[in-house]
A and B are shown apart, each in its own frame.
Chain A
């Protein structure tokens, strides 16, 4: 089936540094998403993105977070600066129309020290 690729699979950084998580969505998909899963908790919605703009974001999407997809390249989540509570697995997803199945990547495990 369609594949969403996330790079890297693991990232360890020091608190206060910037980090960029990369997602290569399914090629003909137009809607993109980030979800966050803290260890032992449910996956939670962060943000969705369409036509170059953030459409919706949750309260978890702090001011330090930003997303973009410049010129059809990777869909990225940037955190600047990072905080200890940002440690989690971040899942990227994409869908073709926003009313169909979401396809998820395998996640990037972010550890902030």
Chain B
């Protein structure tokens, strides 16, 4: 079965509000990355975490390897935040071999 379960699959927010995306893992992961796919199909790197939390502007991510989950919090959402967000995690000891979630389609409404 899927090793990375991402939720929700779709989310609609009004500008200025916030929410959280979540990925649950069925096995212990070494690290997690979060991406946003823009309208041109490019994967934009948001975060890489091996543990703990990171914050960048209006985005904040957390990763708990032991509890097998990661979250991405968005606050004060803006129209340009719209896109599909993916988490991807790595459970190997060698070079990264990412397993992707199915993505969350985020729509920010005025």
Contacts and interface: CB of A to CB of B under 8 A. Distances in A.
Interface of A: 1, 31, 33, 35, 42-45, 48, 50, 55-56, 58, 89, 91, 95, 98-107
B52 to A, nearest CB: 16
With a 10 A CB-CB cut-off, give which of A44, A58, A91, A99 has the most chain B CB atoms: A99
A104 B48 contact: no
Contacts of A103: 45
Interface stretch (B14-22, B63-71, B74-82, B95-103): B95-103
5 contacts: A31-B96, A44-B100, A48-B95, A48-B97, A98-B94
Size bin of chain B's contact surface: 20 to 34
With a 10 A CB-CB cut-off, give which of B31, B35, B40, B42 has the most chain A CB atoms: B42
A104 B43 contact: yes
Interface string B9-48: 0000000000000000000000101010000111101001
B95 A50 contact: yes
A44 B40 CA distance: 20
Nearest to A58: B97
